[in-house]
Amino acid sequence: MKNVYFDNAATTQMRDEVMTSIIDVMRNNYGNASSSHSFGRSSKSLIEQSRKTIAQYLNVSAGEIVFTSGGTEADNLILRSAVRDLGIKHIITSKIEHHAVLHTIEQLKQEYGILVSYVNLETNGDIDYLHLETLLQTENKTLVSLMHVNNEIGNILDMQRVSNLCQVNKTLFHSDAVQSIGHYKMDLQEIPIDFMVASAHKFHGPKGVGFAFIRKNSGLQPVIFGGEQERGLRAGTESVHNISGIEKALKSACDNLNKEADYVKELKRYFINRIVNEIPKVAFNGNSGDLNKSTYTLVNVCLPISPKKGAMLLFQLDLKGIACSKGSACQSGSSQNSHVLTEILSDADLQKPSIRFSFSIYNTKEEVDYVIDVLKEFIE
């Protein structure tokens, strides 16, 4: 039995250089960054250097990067403050967003009575841009929240198009880019977006740290209160080693982006070709089977298996040492179908098992072969 990790959309293996950097900071830069002595100043300097590095890769100013505990906190900060402090009365989103966005918006609707509109979806999971344009015709102060890359089916949002629509309609635009930052080049001067979030553990960095990009002079206020850390937007003693880790992880990802993206894209292409040849009745959910219309990091397949047999599939794959998922890791404890697939699949296809396989630079074609062979043996 091999051990194959094909669940990189859930979390990724840390790079060696990131672990080295984190350990070095924990050993030598343990001062509280809010302290005025040399130990504190040393930690503060590392944080600001990390902020500057990340800002450079996104082509924004350092003051527009706010460190958080991850994507969920960053989404909450932006959405909650937008309603509470910026006077947002209307949020436009989709029903296939990450739960960090959907559940926050549902809570805001209960608390503040805001209007929530869900943009229509095409059968492949893409948003209906014409419907979005219609929804933007409103007198309410509005914010659009749409993810860049869908974490389950890999569909890619046309960020430029949505940004332009929002600008024309004087609407704020927030995007959860947790599945894309570190995997795609981002120039936020070219894309006039207001808010974006990222999480280090999705691009070979540590868990427990992420950041929010908040366009300067946005007017957002903190949702966690305490000290004046992060320019007053996020109280709490900074996790200096993790912040150093996210800087190192993003630097490695961006500096090696073209080479590593080509490698992972070839793995996905190889996986698609093999599974189509070995399991002819396999179907691909969303755009995930199209290399030109989906992220290169994942594929979501619907397998030709009965519901009864399909119920045992993940368990059997786990017994064979294969890690993958039926949807987002955040809902893995749920017995319900993926909320994303529920929106785009027929009732008949929802009865079949759908599995997400997600790839990284640490995977190989030999691992793909092993997984396809195990799948084929199980199905037959």
Alpha carbons 99 and 284: distance in angstroms, whole number = 23
DSSP summary character for residue 149: B
Residue 161, C-beta contacts closer than 8 angstroms, at least 6 positions apart: 129
Rg (CA), the chain: 21
Concatenating the DSSP letter of every residue in 23-80 gives HHHHHH--S-TT-SSHHHHHHHHHHHHHHHHHHHHHTS-GGGEEEESSHHHHHHHHHH
CB 211 within 8 A of CB 68: yes
Residues 194-231 as b or e (16 or more Cβ within 10 Å = b) = bbbbbbbbbbbbbbebbbbbbbeebebebbbeeeebbe
Which residues, in sequence order, are bridge partners of residue 298?
Answer: 358
Pairing between strand 115-118 and 90-93? parallel
Q: Which of 166, 254, 324, 330 is catalytic?
A: 330
Helix (H, G, I), strand (E, B) or coil at 117: strand
Annotation marks residue 324 as catalytic? no
Residues 48-73 as b or e (16 or more Cβ within 10 Å = b) = eebbebbbebbebeeebbbbbbbbbb
Q: Which two tokens stand for residue 18?
A: 């990131």
* Torsion on CA atoms 292, 102, 313, 270, rounded to nearest 10: 10
Task: Look at the block and give the residue holding tokens 């799948």.
Answer: 375
- Active-site residues, by number, are 330
